[in-house]
């Protein structure tokens, strides 16, 4: 047996469960780079990759932009690398395959036998085309494949059918690998705000619960973090029933109760109360119980917003529904307000009442953005009807979409989970109203024929 100089297989993933499964299949022939390093960009991953991997598996739990950045960075350094995206079958999968230089698609729920078969097929193709040597993979004889390169195959062709002959795997059994030390948690950097750059605070407000206010706030923070990574903070100021951390699958160690404590007047202490999200923004978690939430005074919330604006480029505040004392004082300390309602007449009338009250007491922010969420042409109302009821023009219409619920259940911001969904595109336009420079790179991509041959 010719010893392998470096592990031939590479996995970049945020799924500890999938990593464990793949290690059990490939043993010491697998190198893993945690997807968390993507917070610092694809180059932070590439620098941790062994000298010359042969096949890279990207995913699961990587979004399109992360996968695209990895594909470009890895192929630039390793032109002969075989690339497999690990992703479940979804409506946008065909576009991923069309627009990224991939060799294969693998379902994360595929059996070990199917996974090995696909790896062997791709390894054989790389060897046949002079991109690798057979001994590089230290594997059994490769499956026979057609001379046709993988470039001409469609994604469905990579799903091996159940009646294919099973692969003998005894020779693949490797000694149990020594447990690897867990990578040190990265120390998040808080980039300084350049002189002359204004900081902005945006309140997300709704007259009633259930309008989609939290979804808008989460995706607004996600979109702004694309242009100001690690300089965006999302404050869950729904003090009794805030659920931002649940919607983002975060487990905060500290909450807004700690952030408004006297000890958090120190900037370093305040930073320790924040929870970091993989998409490059921070979260101030809501109070762990309604009783503790009641202890957060309105003045303390206002002071917290001001202190966060001294550190972050953007501060987004998800408020308590209605115009309670905490929401009113929040509106005193922000530059923008995003008002969210739906097409129900009670909600629209409540929104009108909000506008009239805020105008009367002088608390209507100078930058107002009106969002009608969950629009439906079968609701019996038109947008013109909506404008007549609320007494103000509508800036953004967000159509009803099941993708919103799917993204929330997965703990992933919608605009990074399903970029082609109409609701995601509409929410993206809210981000652009706040920061026109946040135009997504994804939309600049021109459709092109998939190619797998190294340039």
The third-level CATH classification (topology) of the domain covering 9-172 is Rossmann fold (3.40.50)
Q: Which two tokens stand for residue 306?
A: 């001001």
Which position has the higher pLDDT, 317 or 421? 317
Rounded to the nearest 5 degrees, what angle is found at the Cα of 421, between the Cα atoms of 200 and 436? Answer: 30
240, pLDDT greater than 70:
yes
Rounded to the nearest 5 degrees, what angle is found at the Cα of 326, between the Cα atoms of 324 and 330? Answer: 115
Q: What are the C-alpha distances in Å from 419 to residues 58, 62, 89, 357, 427?
A: 18, 13, 16, 37, 10
223, pLDDT greater than 60:
yes
Among 140-149, 271-280, 340-349, 379-388, where is mean pLDDT lowest? 140-149
Which position has the higher pLDDT, 145 or 120? 120
- Structure confidence by residue, pLDDT tens digits, 53-68: 999 999 888 888 889 9
Question: Domain extents for the chain?
Answer: 9-172, 200-435
188, pLDDT greater than 70:
no
Per-residue b/e over 142-169, b at no fewer than 16 CB within 10 Å?
Answer: bbeeeeeebeebebeebebeeeeeebee
244, pLDDT greater than 90:
yes
Q: Report, in this order, helix, strand and coil percent for the chain, each rounded to 5.
A: 40, 15, 45
233, pLDDT greater than 60:
yes
Q: Which two tokens stand for residue 193?
A: 């705000």
- Structure confidence by residue, pLDDT tens digits, 201-219: 999 999 988 899 999 999 9
Q: Maximum distance among all alpha carbons in the chain? A: 82
Q: Would you say the CATH fold of 200-435 matches that of 9-172?
A: yes
* Collapsed DSSP state (helix, strand, coil) of residue 132: coil
Question: CA 450 to CA 453: how far, in whole Å?
Answer: 10
Predicted confidence at residue 336, as pLDDT, reads 94
Q: How confident is the model at residue 39 (pLDDT cuts 50, 70, 90)?
A: confident
Show the DSSP H helices in 78-182 as ranges. Answer: 93-99, 112-128
Rounded to the nearest 5 degrees, what angle is found at the Cα of 146, between the Cα atoms of 142 and 148? Answer: 125
Predicted confidence at residue 202, as pLDDT, reads 96
Which residue from 366, 311, 306, 309 is spatially nearest to 335, judged by alpha carbons? 366
Predicted confidence at residue 54, as pLDDT, reads 92
The third-level CATH classification (topology) of the domain covering 200-435 is Rossmann fold (3.40.50)
Q: How confident is the model at residue 437 (pLDDT cuts 50, 70, 90)?
A: confident
């Amino acid at each position: 047996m010719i010893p392998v100089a470096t592990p031939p297989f590479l996995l970049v993933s945020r799924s500890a469960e999938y990593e464990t499964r793949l290690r059990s299949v490939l043993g010491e022939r697998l190198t893993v780079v945690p997807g968390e390093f993507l917070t610092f960009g694809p180059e932070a991953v590439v620098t941790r990759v062994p000298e010359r991997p042969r096949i890279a598996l990207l995913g699961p739990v990587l979004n399109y932009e992360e996968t695209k950045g990895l594909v470009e960075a890895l192929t630039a350094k390793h032109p002969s690398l075989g690339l497999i995206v690990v992703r479940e079958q979804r409506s946008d999968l065909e576009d991923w395959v069309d627009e990224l230089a991939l060799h294969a698609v693998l379902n994360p729920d595929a059996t070990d036998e199917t996974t090995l078969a696909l790896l062997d097929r791709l390894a054989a193709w790389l060897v046949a085309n002079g991109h690798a040597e057979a001994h590089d993979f230290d594997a059994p004889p490769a499956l026979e494949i057609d001379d046709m390169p993988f470039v001409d195959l469609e994604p469905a062709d990579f799903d091996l059918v159940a009646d294919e002959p099973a692969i003998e795997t005894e020779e693949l059994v490797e000694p149990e690998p020594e447990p690897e030390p867990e990578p040190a948690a990265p120390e998040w950097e808080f980039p300084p705000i350049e002189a002359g750059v204004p900081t902005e605070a945006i309140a997300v407000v709704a007259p009633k619960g259930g309008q989609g206010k939290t979804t808008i706030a989460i995706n607004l923070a996600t979109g702004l973090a694309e242009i100001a990574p690690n300089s965006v903070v999302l404050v869950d100021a729904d003090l009794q029933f805030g659920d931002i951390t649940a919607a983002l699958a975060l487990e905060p160690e500290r909450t807004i109760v700690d952030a408004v404590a006297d000890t958090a007047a120190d900037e370093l202490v305040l930073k320790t109360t924040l929870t970091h999200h993989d998409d490059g923004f921070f979260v101030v978690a809501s109070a762990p119980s309604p009783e503790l939430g009641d202890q957060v005074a309105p003045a303390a919330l206002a002071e917290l917003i001001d202190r966060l604006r001294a550190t972050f480029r953007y501060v987004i505040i998800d408020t308590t529904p209605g115009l309670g004392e905490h929401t009113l004082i929040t509106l005193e300390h922000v530059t923008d307000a995003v008002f969210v309602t739906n097409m129900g007449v009670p909600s629209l009338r409540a929104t009108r009442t909000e506008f009239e009250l805020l105008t009367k007491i002088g608390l209507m922010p100078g930058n107002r953005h009106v969002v009608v969420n969950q629009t439906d042409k079968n609701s019996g109302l038109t947008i013109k009807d909506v404008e007549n009821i609320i007494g103000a023009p509508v800036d953004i219409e967000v159509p009803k979409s099941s993708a919103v619920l799917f993204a929330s259940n997965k703990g992933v911001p919608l605009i990074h989970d399903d970029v082609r969904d109409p609701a995601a595109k509409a929410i993206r336009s809210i981000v652009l109203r706040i920061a026109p420079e946040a135009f997504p790179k994804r939309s600049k991509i021109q459709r092109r024929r998939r190619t797998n041959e190294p340039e």
